Structures are given as C-alpha cells and as structure tokens.
Amino acid sequence: MLVSNTPWRTLVTLLLAAAMLAVLPLHHASAASRFSDLGAEPSQLWHAEFDASWSLDSITKAVDAADQPARRPPSTVILGAGEYLSVGQSAVSPNGWYELRLEPDGQLVLRVTDPQLGPDGTLWSTAGAESAMPLLLMRSNGELAVYNASDPGFLDSAANSDLAKLWSADTRSESGAGLRLYDDGTLAVVTPQGDVLWQGGNSVPDVGLAGHRHIIYDRGEQWVWLVDADGTVVDNYPVSGHPESPEPGRYAVTSKSEDAISYNWLVTMHHMVRFTTDADDDWIGFHSIPRGWQDMPVQTEAELGEALSLGCIRQRDDKAERLYQWAPIGTPVVVLA
C-alpha cells in the first residue's frame, strides 16, 4: 500500500514560512512605532523614517567669517537733510514689513505691519511727551530729533534750542545725513558715504557670518533672524523658547523632519529643524507651535516673544515652514544670550 507524502510536504512548507517570518521586521499598527527617542522632551522628538533619509555626513559646523563685508538689505529714505515727518505721517520699508509713524503725543513708533508679530506690533519707540505740535526733523547738521514745533525755541534763529526738543538721536556729526528704514526693521541715520551715525529699531546682530546663510536666535529677546549669504534678511519674527537653554554659542542644523510627537504622545508639532542638544542629550530645534487635545495649540500666536517652551524654539506655523524649507543641513545657527 502506498503512503501519501502530502502531510510531510505541508509540514516542510509551514516550517519554511515560519523561518521567513522570523527574519522579517515587525511593523506595529500603533503610530508610536513611527517615532524614536521616546524619552526626549515634548518638543524634541522626530519622525524616524524621515530622519533616515538625511545623511549626517553632510553636517558642517558653524563657519568663520568670510572676508567680504555684509551687504545691508534694501532701505527706504524716510528723511533727507532738512526734511521732516509730522503727526499722522508714516513711512514703510521697501518690503512693507515695517512702518515708522509719529504719534500725536510726540512718540516715534516703529511697528510691524503684520498685527500678529511683536508685542502690540511695536518693535521700537521713543518716550511719549505732551506736545501741541510734535515734528520729527532730520537737521542739516546730521541730528535726528523730535521737536515741539509750537515751542518758541523751535523758531529761534539759534537753531532749535534744547527747550523745544522732545527726543534726539544725538547724531550731530556730519551734514547731509538721512534717516533710512531697512527691510530688516533697522532704523538708522546714515551719511552720504554710508557710515551709520545712529541705529535703532530691530537691527540684525553682526555675528561674523557675512557671506554665509545663517540663523540668529536671540534667547533674551526671543527673536529669530534668517539671514542670506548676501546679507539679505529673509525673515525675522518673535518666537517662544526656553529662558536658559540652549547655551549661547555657534551651532549648525543637524537634521530635519516634517512631523514630531511628544514623549507622552499628547502633543504634536511640525517642521522640526534640530541644531543642538540639552544637558540630558535631548534634541533642541525650531518647530511650529505644538498642538494637543483636539488639535488645540498649547499657546497663542500673540504669546510669541515670551519664553514659554520646555527647550525648543516655537514659531508661528508659516514661519516654521519657511525656516524648514530655507535652512539646509549644516546651516549655521548662532544663539545669543
């Protein structure tokens, strides 16, 4: 009688299948399997699959200053020698981001035109003063000052006595100087030769990286600048970071990911750009405002400018996306105290 060998073939097939399954990677259905380093701080986790696509060999440390000088961004000439700005008049930067206006109380105010940026939109201002007729004057001797034009001293032939002066930039040094407003929010009195006699507003710190695209993060002011290699300020805006972290110094973008999740899976954030770690070796980077239950943001955009983060630097969603797209791996990051 012949005995069928079918059961033996079936058994061998099952054993082979089991062996193949044993060497295949397991993929859990849970969303948590897509992320790594679950012990990191809430704003510092990254999408593992995305990270794997970046080569860490391309990371470069912050570079030394180039020999070429920084080129200032475009500007608007607000006042030439002998010209003035009266109450209610204003001037804007070439990119339309900043506006300088003289208020009825004699206060000279520089504001961002986007109402969601800065505390009440104000970047810089002089102190207010009771004045019947305030006037901002760029004098022919190079002095920039706000006067009370109704004061008798203003018309005095002795050249605008201090009695009529409400505020001054103290720039009496060279004739022909003018007042300019730059695309980075800098307000400056500049000579015809290009020398800066006075500077205020939202000026970009010089960190010695002329000729190199770089990011500046002022931890004390909770402010970020994106500066291109030619000196053009691509963007600048308030952020929410930690009051004491990271340490001031020079870093570089090490890796990026579009999606991130907190260690307890309660908040998510987007467009993570990492550049250093904290004392516990947890990543620190730039990202959007985290969102929690029912996609609610953990803070408002109006609170940007306050140090509210656990370690990373929170940005408005559109700003986070812009930095993510603009800064490649290796981009220098300078942190100021």
What's the whole-number average pLDDT of the chain? 74
List all residues 6 or more positions away from 98 whose beta carbon is below 8 Å from its beta carbon: 92, 110, 111, 112, 113, 123, 181, 183, 185, 201, 202
What's the CATH number where 286 sits? 2.40.440.10
Residue 320 belongs to some domain of the structure: yes
- Residue 162: its pLDDT value, please? 66
Q: Give yes or no: residues 225 and 328 share one domain.
A: yes
Residue 24 belongs to some domain of the structure: no
- Residue 71: its pLDDT value, please? 58
Q: Give yes or no: residues 218 and 270 share one domain.
A: yes
Q: Give yes or no: residues 88 and 171 share one domain.
A: yes
Q: Give yes or no: residues 162 and 249 share one domain.
A: no
Confidence of residue 287 (pLDDT cuts 50, 70, 90): very high
Choose the final residue of a domain: 178, 201, 224: 201
- Residue 17: its pLDDT value, please? 44
Residue span of the structural domain in which 87 resides: 75-201
* Cα radius of gyration rounded to whole Å, the chain: 29
Gap between the Cα atoms of 208 and 334, Å rounded: 10
Gap between the Cα atoms of 226 and 315, Å rounded: 13
- Residue 154: its pLDDT value, please? 67
Gap between the Cα atoms of 232 and 210, Å rounded: 10
Q: Give yes or no: residues 149 and 269 share one domain.
A: no
Q: Give yes or no: residues 239 and 292 share one domain.
A: yes
Residue 296 belongs to some domain of the structure: yes
Residue 156 has pLDDT above 80, yes or no: no
Q: Give yes or no: residues 255 and 176 share one domain.
A: no
Residue 134 belongs to some domain of the structure: yes
76, 181 Cβ separation under 8 angstroms: yes
Average pLDDT over residues 106-119: 74
Choice between 199 and 44, residue whose per-residue pLDDT is larger: 199
Gap between the Cα atoms of 128 and 32, Å rounded: 55
Portion of the chain with pLDDT greater than 70, in percent: 72
Q: Give yes or no: residues 325 and 246 share one domain.
A: yes
Average pLDDT over residues 175-196: 87
Sign of the torsion formed by the C-alpha atoms of 323, 248, 121 and 79? negative
Gap between the Cα atoms of 44 and 293, Å rounded: 18
Token representation of residue 107: 């206060």
Report the Cα 115 to chain-centroid distance in Å. 16
- Residue 48: its pLDDT value, please? 28
Least confident of 4-13, 73-82, 130-139: 4-13
Residues in the chain: 337
Kindly report, residue by residue over 27-85, the tens digit of the pLDDT: 332 222 222 222 233 333 333 222 322 333 333 333 333 334 445 678 888 899 889 99
Q: Give yes or no: residues 230 and 155 share one domain.
A: no
Residue 172 belongs to some domain of the structure: yes
- Residue 39: its pLDDT value, please? 28
Residue 314 belongs to some domain of the structure: yes
Choose the final residue of a domain: 171, 201, 231: 201
Tokens 């505390």: give the residue: 119
Confidence of residue 153 (pLDDT cuts 50, 70, 90): low
Token representation of residue 164: 């009529």
Average pLDDT over residues 277-286: 87
Residue 14 belongs to some domain of the structure: no
Residue 139 has pLDDT above 80, yes or no: yes
Q: Give yes or no: residues 141 and 165 share one domain.
A: yes
Residue 10 belongs to some domain of the structure: no
Token representation of residue 88: 């209610």
Q: Give yes or no: residues 235 and 328 share one domain.
A: yes
Q: Give yes or no: residues 189 and 214 share one domain.
A: no
Choice between 313 and 95, residue whose per-residue pLDDT is larger: 313
Choice between 190 and 24, residue whose per-residue pLDDT is larger: 190
Count of domains observed in the chain = 2
- Residue 174: its pLDDT value, please? 72
What's the CATH number where 168 sits? 2.90.10.10
Choose the final residue of a domain: 160, 175, 201: 201
Choice between 236 and 13, residue whose per-residue pLDDT is larger: 236
